[in-house]
Amino acid sequence: MSKKGKSAKKDKSNALAQTPGLLSDPALGEAAAPTKKMSNKTYLKELEKLEAELVHLQEWVVSKGLKVIIVFEGRDGAGKGGTIKAITGRVSPRVFRTVALPAPTEREKSQMYLQRYLPHFPAAGEVVIFDRSWYNRAGVERVMGFASDEQVHCFFRLAPMFEKVMVSCSDIILLKYWLEVDMDEQTRRIEARITDPRKQWKLSPMDLKSYSRWYDYSRARDAMFEATDSEWAPWFTARSDDKKRVRLNIIKHLLKSIPYEAPKPLKVTLPKRQSAGKYQESDHPVKYVPEVF
């Protein structure tokens, strides 16, 4: 094979590896993922540094009146909830708001599809994180038969225009993340929801129905990327088999995607406490929580 032919073959292979819709198909030659999972000590050390930067970003968003929307999508068990918790763990819930809408009511079903998401959009100085979003139409609604082909195709035409209005006309910073979990890892996580009482609230009849339709979801994901991966609102895919790594990788990407400046270090001196004066301890019997630990 000529050098030119080898180069073309290599370029094609790289293009396949970088195509978001193909990441879950190992036969297509995706780049090798880390084989060793990250230790908890390393994870917490890196997370602490990123949490400090998220606080700096928060102050920048508030001071500059930025409006940010972060969308998280992925299969059941992909790690969306844990990633969102890692982002919001040390920031103000008044600035970083998480939106996880339930199934639409009968009234909402009669509205324009995107209408019920609009009231949750950010005002100046806010970051809104959607734990699943308007892309329900392209995913679960399509796969489970809650939306017709006509409705899905209409959504595919509308979504890029809707997002262009958000970004171009409303000055919203929009980030869209797809968490890609391996088939075996998803099975392990779903099984953990069945056996672990702490996780059983995450398990729904819809999860079980969705679990059996892996390749239907793969096709839906690929079609969604093809139709809605735009220049102004691209999709970013992150491997989520290692929960610790995906959380750190996404936070790092998020911080790089929104230009901000860290504030100057605070110089704070605590004031002296007032004197007790005439204050006396109350003789009202205090009901303490039992100290069983």
Q: Where are the domains of the chain?
A: 43-180+217-257
| HSE-up (13 A, CA, CB side) for residue 201 | 2
pTM exceeds 0.95, yes or no: no
pLDDT in the model for residue 1: 47
pLDDT in the model for residue 205: 82
pLDDT in the model for residue 203: 84
CATH topology of domain 43-180+217-257: Rossmann fold (3.40.50)
What is the rounded distance in angstroms from the CA atom of residue 247 to the CA atom of residue 253?
A: 10
Q: pLDDT tens, position by position, for the chain (293 residues)?
A: 444 444 444 443 333 333 333 344 433 334 455 668 889 999 999 999 999 999 999 999 999 999 999 999 999 999 999 999 999 999 999 999 999 999 999 999 999 999 999 999 999 999 999 999 999 999 999 999 999 999 999 999 999 999 999 999 999 999 999 999 999 999 999 999 989 889 888 888 888 888 899 999 999 999 999 999 999 999 999 999 999 999 999 999 999 999 999 988 889 999 999 999 999 999 999 999 999 99
Q: Please count the other Cβ atoms lying within 10 Å of the Cβ belonging to residue 219.
A: 13
Q: Quote the Cα angle for 55-33-50, to 5°.
A: 10
Query: Facing residues of 69 across strands?
Result: 128, 174
pLDDT in the model for residue 33: 57
Contact 210, 76 (CB under 8 A): yes
What is the rounded distance in angstroms from the CA atom of residue 131 to the CA atom of residue 174?
A: 14
